[in-house]
A and B are shown apart, each in its own frame.
Chain A
Amino acid sequence: MDFELPDDAAALIETTRKMVSDLMPHEPEFQKTGKVPAAVRKVFRDNGFFSLAFREENGGMGLGMLEICCIQAELAHLPVQFWADVKSSQGPQTKIIEDFGTEAQRQATLPAVIAGDLVMAFCLSEPHCGSDVSAIRTRAERTGDGWRLNGYKTYVSNGIKAGQAVVAAYTDRSKGARDGISLFLVPADAPGYKLAGILELMGHHTPGVAELAFDDVDLPAEALIGEEGKGLSYLMHGLNAGRLAIAGTSLGMGEMALEEARRYAHERPAFGGTLSDFQAVQHMLADMATEMRAARLLMLDAAWRYDRGEVSRSLCAMAKLFCSETACRTVDTALQIFGGAGYVRGQRVERLYRDVRVTRIYEGASEIQKNTIAREMLRD
């Protein structure tokens, strides 16, 4: 058995780590202004970060989930806003187009995404339903030569600046979610497509997620992605990869908090020594390190198997569940070690505390991951 990362993965991670550490000094400026410095996007654009997940024939690097998760864990040391676009280039919205879209849909989106010029949105959640996908109300009706889309979507990441959106809608409610939901590629400049609102968030708090309204948006027949009624199965197709990527995100945040806490415990004077002299603090650090290591191994195992074609819903759910829950605990303990300083705006652990919380909610909340794990266990 060999626990070493493959050479390629190691080289990619190493380089990413170097770029991330060079970008770190931009954090204080960002914390002050809320604006992502242009230099950040340039580094990601110039160094191929928007091409990671796409296949080589489509101009991508064709990386596996092992590399993607590990790279994501490095990026997650930086404020979310720095890499949100990079992450969206690997999201279900682009993967679905690559795997099920027509050549015309691919041409209209992928080259621009890879060049870092186009951000795409993924619109599934609605105000009254998130976990329960079958309850969406957005619908698309056939017109003479196309479709008419009506509905309202919320929590749309990157929805404010997205140029194209993948939208889930019922095309035939009588067939239920399994055969009645379809996906559409909708350009943001289509008449009737409206940015209806912006929700400010606890973490990632600028620029917020979007609410998008679709009022009688007329789409040509070619806007349908793949086959009619296959929407849910396309969504499920990308589910495991999406969960692994969040495992990577939360892992990176937890590891960053652990490193911050280790450094601070060493430096902070207290009672004639430093915080790291106290066994209570040492034990906190030991627990954090042990749990984060376990989280990393769980993610690596699930991702490695995924790339070998041994796709297991349960392992991906476990990785997402454990990495996000562990990272939240670790960030919380790190903040405790910082004491009052950890509660101050501008402090990295304060930022992580707000940012990490959502990893237990999106891409399937922890409870939904547990449902999946239990379902797989109890299936005979």
Chain B
Amino acid sequence: MKVLVPVKRVIDYNMKAKVKSDGSGVDLANVKMSMNPFDEIAVEEAIRLREVGKAEEIVAVSVGVKQAQETLRTALAMGADRAILVIASDDVHTDIEPLAVAKILKAIVDEQQPGLVLCGKQAIDNDMNATGQMLSALLGWSQATFASELSVDGDSAVVTREVDGGLQTIKVKIPAVVTVDLRLNEPRYASLPNIMKAKKKPLDEKTAADLGVDVAPRLEIVKTSEPAARQAGEMVPDVDTLVAKLKEKGLV
């Protein structure tokens, strides 16, 4: 079975996001970018499937700017076999919307014929949580979202999902789209020798136009603003004052 893992280049989770002065979005010029952490978990899971003999080949795919090559190199260094970059913009500030990404991924799936698509449940930049679901709808495949456990057996996959009420276990038919949650695994590091070897692995480049997908945005961002600054706290001299203050504010 071939596993396709879409990976997104996002602002590094350690970076403090700053809004551009014109409010048009988050400033990404000269900011450290990394692979979306949920996608790292998806790559790791694909590698584990290969390690237990349930997958033969892992193809990583990224949609976005040319610089997403680095993100794909990380996936290759972690253990993906080859990569496909779909260039859909030349501006690092353009975020391709989930529907456009899902259409591009559908074209890639049609071409690559994977048995499983493993996506992150959402990207940490815009938190859309939509691409995997849209892709499964476009493909007419089963979907299992928010996976915290996954096992593949023959032509079905058993997925434990993290839902509001607790854990739900479902069985889906393969081919399927599975989106992964935080607790599925702990991704390995890309080892230093594998980082060097990743340079020699194949990385194909295409454009959204090659795949006939229109990536023009359908949403208009009206304004992006920083969250309100936290008010400074107040120091109280003793516990009695603390309790009195809390009562005053109706908190106890």
Give the interface of A toward B (CB within 8 A).
7-8, 11-12, 15-16, 18-19, 43, 46-49, 51-52, 61, 71
Contact = CB atoms under 8 A, between A and B. Distances in A.
Interface in B188-225: 189-196, 199
A108 to B, nearest CB: 22
9 contacts: A8-B195, A15-B77, A15-B195, A46-B189, A47-B192, A48-B191, A49-B192, A61-B193, A61-B196
Nearest to B190: A15
B30 to A, nearest CB: 12
A71 B192 CA distance: 10
State the majority secondary structure of interface residues on B.
helix
B192 A15 contact: yes
A10 to B, nearest CB: 9
A12 B189 CA distance: 11
A12 B191 contact: no
Which range contains the number of B residues in contact with the other chain?
A: 10 to 19
Task: Tell me the dominant secondary structure on chain A's binding face.
Answer: helix
B191 A11 contact: no
A47 B191 contact: yes
A52 B74 CA distance: 19
B199 A61 contact: no
Contact of A8 (B74, B189, B190, B199): B199
Nearest to B191: A47
B103 interface: no
A343 to B, nearest CB: 28
Contact of B191 (A7, A8, A46): A46
B106 interface: no
B196 A52 contact: no
A40 B225 CA distance: 42
Contacts of B194: 48
A12 B195 contact: yes
A52 B192 contact: yes
Interface string B220-239: 00000000000000000000
A43 B192 CA distance: 11
A47 B189 contact: yes
B191 A16 contact: no
A25 to B, nearest CB: 15
Contacts of B195: 8, 11-12, 15
B73 interface: yes
A130 B209 CA distance: 68
